[in-house]
Structure 1
Amino acid sequence: MDESAWPEVAAAVTAAPYPVEVLPADPTRAAGCLAALEITTRSWLGAVVANTGGLLVDHGWLRVLGSGHGGLPDVPAESDPARGLVTIGYDVLGGQFVWTQAQPGARPTVHYFGPDDLGWLDLEQGYADWLYAVLAGSLPAFYETLRWPGWESEVAGLAPDQAFSVWPPPFTREGKDLSVVSRMAVPLAEAVSFYQDAARQLGS
């Protein structure tokens, strides 16, 4: 029997320097997700999909996708296998993390689409390296320019399938300082599509 990577992931969750909530998984749905992705629990992605409905990291700022929970989608539902895109997480501002190849034949790496520049950034990390870094405390530095005083309590008040609609948006000059913008809870999918649409319209 294959040895699951879940004990490694669980240990990283326990050692995280900020709160990490493990959403419960539905075993039948999780099995379907693993089959759709054609992966096993020996991988960190497979272990997360099999054992969690998702992970809410750092007061819920980052939602790492698993096999789905409530309104939070599962990995296969958000991915595009034909294009080689596996969506692995969203942040509370509508940013998106995908695991994909930068070019044909390359090792798949995690890429981030941010609401502040509307572009894809190759983080040059595989899935396990990315998730380990996230659980080890990488988020404060990564999001240094996108947080505001008191964000913790605001973010914790959102449901897993909600995000903040920010106006003016962070990609505008007026929206760079998130401590002075308007923030409103909206469905996560709505926030994600807003920035993707903006990128297409602006040619980013």
Structure 2
Amino acid sequence: MTESAGRRSIDGLIARDDPAWPLVLSWAADPAAHPSRILPPDPDHRDAALLRLQVTTRSTLGAIVHESGGIALHDGWLRLLGSGRPPEAGDGTRSLVRWNEEAGAFDAGAGTAPAFLLVADDVLGGFFALNGGRFGPDGLGQIFYLPPDGLDWEPLELGHADFVHWCFFGDTSAFYADLSGLCGWGERPLPGFDRAYSFYPFAWSAEAARGGLDRRVVPVEEIWRLKSELAG
């Protein structure tokens, strides 16, 4: 398979030596890990997704995109994006590439690397993005978080692999402790992979600080459209 100049073929992106997927599987299988569910990859999209991203499966990002449709942790509280699942599969979910194209991270036909890449989100409407320059040069290649109760991206000082490890093993309940008023950590069931809670008054508003929030389940893209227009 021939690619345009400067772009690697699918054979060049699939790592035969030292792929990251066995490491991710070992994290998921570890008795100390948080509960997770790995969705099978979309067989018709996984190669195209890897080609679009131009990352190898030696990276956790490439491995998760190529080898999974996504990973749900804590019964779906956290969602790591993969190749997605087609609607006809019965468990259709967003693909990382298509989601980022729709979210404006990069143009579908462009050959340049995205300035940011949405790699995960949570049930509260928080978004995790990999910095490709959008959030400044100091945190290049690191994960930033846009919380449900704020409009500023916050650096987590974690690369993608360390972030995925944190999703499996980190003190996530402490991370979300200040947001317990939006949804209790042990509250179940939770919205599906492509949906999240929306709050009114908006969770970042002065009115919300006084309490009395109304909560409803909406598509994740509805929350992203609003917050991306307002976020710094």
With normalisation by structure 2, the TM-score equals: 0.76
Stretch moving more, 184-193 or 76-85: 76-85
The percentage of aligned residue pairs carrying the same residue is 34
**Structure 1, unpaired ranges of 5+:** none
| Contact 1:95 1:112 survives alignment (8 Å) | yes
Q: Note the C-alpha offset of 1:28.
A: 2.9
Across the aligned residues of Structure 1 and Structure 2, the Cα RMSD in angstroms comes to: 2.3
Say yes or no: does 1:139 pair with 2:172: yes
Say yes or no: does 1:9 pair with 2:24: yes
Q: More helix by proportion, 1 or 2?
A: 1
Aligned to 1:72: 93
In structure 1, C-alpha distance between the alignment counterparts of 2:54 and 2:165, rounded to whole Å: 22
Q: Note the C-alpha offset of 1:37.
A: 0.6
One-letter code of the match for 1:74?
S
Q: Note the C-alpha offset of 1:55.
A: 1.0
RCO higher in structure (CA 8 A, sep ≥6): 1
Matched position secondary structure for 1:27: coil
Stretch moving more, 99-108 or 161-170: 99-108
Structure 1 residues 129-164: Cα deviation after superposition (integer angstroms, max 9, x where no partner): 11111211332121111124655444x342211111
The number of residue pairs the alignment matches comes to 198
Aligned to 1:24: 40
**Structure 2, unpaired ranges of 5+:** 1-15, 107-111
Q: Note the C-alpha offset of 1:119.
A: 0.3
In structure 2, C-alpha distance between the alignment counterparts of 1:37 and 1:196, rounded to whole Å: 22
Match of 1:125 among 142, 158, 165: 158
One-letter code of the match for 1:133?
W
With normalisation by structure 1, the TM-score equals: 0.85
| Contact 2:123 2:190 survives alignment (8 Å) | no
Matched position secondary structure for 2:202: coil
| Contact 1:59 1:152 survives alignment (8 Å) | no
Stretch moving more, 119-128 or 71-80: 71-80
